[in-house]
Amino acid sequence: MAFDVIMPKLGVDMQEGEILEWKKQEGDVVNEGDILLEIMSDKTNMEIEAEESGVLLKIVHPDGDVVPVTEVIAYIGAEGETVREVAADAKIVAADGQSVSGPIAPAAEQVAQASVSPKEELGADEFDIVVVGGGPAGYYAAIRGAQLGAKVAIVEKFEFGGTCLNVGCIPTKTYLKNAEILDGLKIAAGRGINLASTNYAIDMDKTVEFKNSVVKTLTSGVRGLLKANKVEIINGFGQVNPDKSVVIGDRVIKGRNIILATGSKVSRINIPGIDSQLVLTSDDILDLREIPKSLAVMGGGVVGIELGLVWASYGVDVTVIEMADRIVPAMDREVSLELQKLLTKKGMTIKTGVGVSEIIEANNQLTLKLNNGEEVVAEKALLSIGRVPQLGGLENLNLEMERGRIKVNDYQETSIPGIYAPGDVNGSKMLAHAAYRMGEVAAENAIWGNVRKANLKYTPAAVYTHPEVAMVGLTEEDARAKYGDVLIGKNSFTGNGRAIASNEAHGFVKVIADTKYHEILGVHIIGPAAAEMINEAATIMENELTVDELLRSIHGHPTFSEVMYEAFADVLGEAIHNPPKRK
């Protein structure tokens, strides 16, 4: 399989680039990441890295040529391939306009024609695609396949929407909104809102009822979308076989392609006492009808911190126990420590660098023995140490695995051709929005052949605490490990007009950029609307805008996002609302 090298578009204004020097010559072996050539655009010189490994088969444009952006300038392929073979098998543009690698994907008009052209007749229980699992990856894959004209069936044993919609992101956000409302009540008097009484009570029956109504609205919406796209819905447990048949009870269906979107389940640890009924999973705690006086949270990751904050806002004595040296350790260290400080002020007790060695149940309460000799006593405990792929029904496939996860290639395809596994089940990015993209890509590759890769490099992530936390790209620690010296820009919400007016003047935005081209390597936010603002940062990074280019934009005032703009400006020492940097 061969790939093309194109003149990159380094910024929104770039129309062409000059090839200054090829660093590799025809016939040279090229590894992904090797410097191929140096180009000059209208604003800077830049070295271009190889995106694939192989042999540099042909240089189309030599040193000194000025080439329009996106035009092919060379081919990389397997040793012995001819240029003619390369041209027939090079990177092209898929129907959605995205550049993809591999066999030629259909152009938009070809896709449209294919979607209405006659197909080989399928039997009543035969489908172009059978999707197993109705979570984010699954229902996206099913609808995308149907949009492309495929006959699609989806098999789901419970309810559509998966973990996120039923027992994860969405239910948790309904509870976190309650926590935000309670925070508002606490500051109302200081804003001139005098309540007749500051007494309140939490009605957990109504809380759970409201959460369930939100979930039902969204799951019904997913089911309606599937029906509207003429996807056949099959309720039940699917057992998948290597011949691409799926057994659901007494019914057997078959797919030309299978998409495994079985998702994930709560991870468990094997310690004495873990099976106590007072130890709840993140699934269980969302249906709790009584408020405990105390709660021990085992695991200071995203789920543990979010749910811990919910119960702390209800007046519960919450203790978080995290084995790493800080909470949510995947975040930038500076942001993590700031969040820990703010949550501590809200009344949460956070213990880091320690684990639970034993749980003892007595007198309707738990004693958690920690491996540093301490003990934590609580009425309930929450186990929130992460999730693992759900592999039930896939036992017959003998798929190639990697650390307990289904191994897939860049096209979301498993070790069995024609069987794809997007989403949590492959463990690459266990986030609903990443699963959406992987599901779409899997469906397109099932229909078109393997033509489109799921680029998850700039997938944003968020923690919906109050204040929120969000990130995309590299942390400062990872950036320094990879690039050495980097540029850091920061700006605080403490000086932001809207944040001050909203009683949310805490936190900051942090931007990490490389020193040579001012390429943006990472953006980290702790503060109001962080989960919304991070999408702008992800789009900026996906489109490879530099700090200099970003600063040409204008952000509205007064908005929270002005803080992110000022953080970008601070990378270059140009933030108007920051004190001058020391020379």
Contact 37, 61 (CB under 8 A): no
Q: Give the end-to-end CA distance of the chain in Å, rounded to a whole number.
A: 52
Q: What share of the chain is helix, strand, coil (3-state, %, to 5)?
A: 30, 25, 40
What's the CA gap between 447 and 128, in Å, rounded? 8
The DSSP result for 482-493, as a single string, is HHSSEEEEEEEG
List the catalytic residue out of 466, 518, 557, 577: 557
Judge whether 557 counts as a catalytic residue: yes
What's the CA gap between 268 and 312, in Å, rounded? 24
The DSSP result for 86-155, as a single string, is HHHSS-EE-TTS-EE-SSPPPPHHHHHHHHHS------TTEEEEEEE--SHHHHHHHHHHHHTT--EEEE
Where does residue 423 rank: exposed (0-12), middle (13-18), buried (19+ CB within 10 A)?
buried
Count, residues in the chain: 583
| Secondary structure element (H or E) that encloses residue 478, with its range | helix 476-483
Find the DSSP H helices in 361-474.
432-448
Contact 563, 496 (CB under 8 A): yes
Q: Please give the sequence-ordered ranges of beta strands (E in DSSP) within 242-364, or none if there are none.
A: 245-248, 251-260, 264-266, 279-281, 294-298, 317-322, 349-352, 356-362
Residues with a catalytic annotation lie at 557
